[in-house]
Amino acid sequence: QVQLQESGPGLVKPSETLSLTCTVSGGSISGYYWSWIRQSPGKGLEWIAYISSSGSTDYNPSLKSRVTITVDTPKNQFSLKLRSVTAADTAVYYCARHFAAGYSSGWYEYWGRGTLVAVSS
């Protein structure tokens, strides 16, 4: 059974960079696309970006200027960096696996449990 686990600081100061890592277990990161999604009371569920195991990426235009997604295939991990954060970036951040192997269309059967990141000084 595939499992995903987000890790990273729970508190980030305004204007700094939010960094999260998703570790995949119970299956290989290879052959699939992987996304970051966040959920906040104000904006609901928001897709942030995806990456393939070979490094192909796509970003939400609303966040593209501040986001970088990377993959580390040997470690079975992928990561998110969100720069210049503000209080509006406070949310639960989820990592998730795209449903079908080799398919960039994003619908998700496997999700991490989510990690709450608060932006505050």
Partner 1 sequence: DIVMTQSPDSLTVSLGERATINCKSSQSVLYGSNNKNYLVWYQQKSGQPPRLLIYWASTRASGVPDRFTGSGSGTDFTLTISSLQVEDVAVYYCQHYYKTPFTFGGGTKVEIK
Let me know: does 45 contact 37? Beta carbons within 8 Å: yes
The whole-angstrom separation of Cα 2 and Cα 99 is: 12
Verify binding: residue 60, partner 1, rule CB under 8 A.
yes
Residues 70-109 that bind partner 1 (CB under 8 A): 94, 96, 99, 105-109
The set of residues, in sequence order, having a beta carbon less than 8 Å from that of 61 and lying 6+ positions away, is none
Displacement of CA 111 from its chain's centroid (Å) = 10
Closer residue to partner 1 in complex, CB, 19/57:
57
Verify binding: residue 114, partner 1, rule CB under 8 A.
yes
> Minimal distance in Å, beta carbon 77 to partner 1?
18
Least Cα distance to 89 among 21, 41, 22 occurs for 41
Among 10, 44, 65, 120, binds partner 1 (CB under 8 A): 44
Going 106 to 74 to 79 to 24, the CA torsion angle's sign is positive
Among 23, 85, 89, 112, binds partner 1 (CB under 8 A): 112
- Site for partner 1, rule CB under 8 A: 44-47, 50, 58, 60-62, 94, 96, 99, 105-109, 111-114
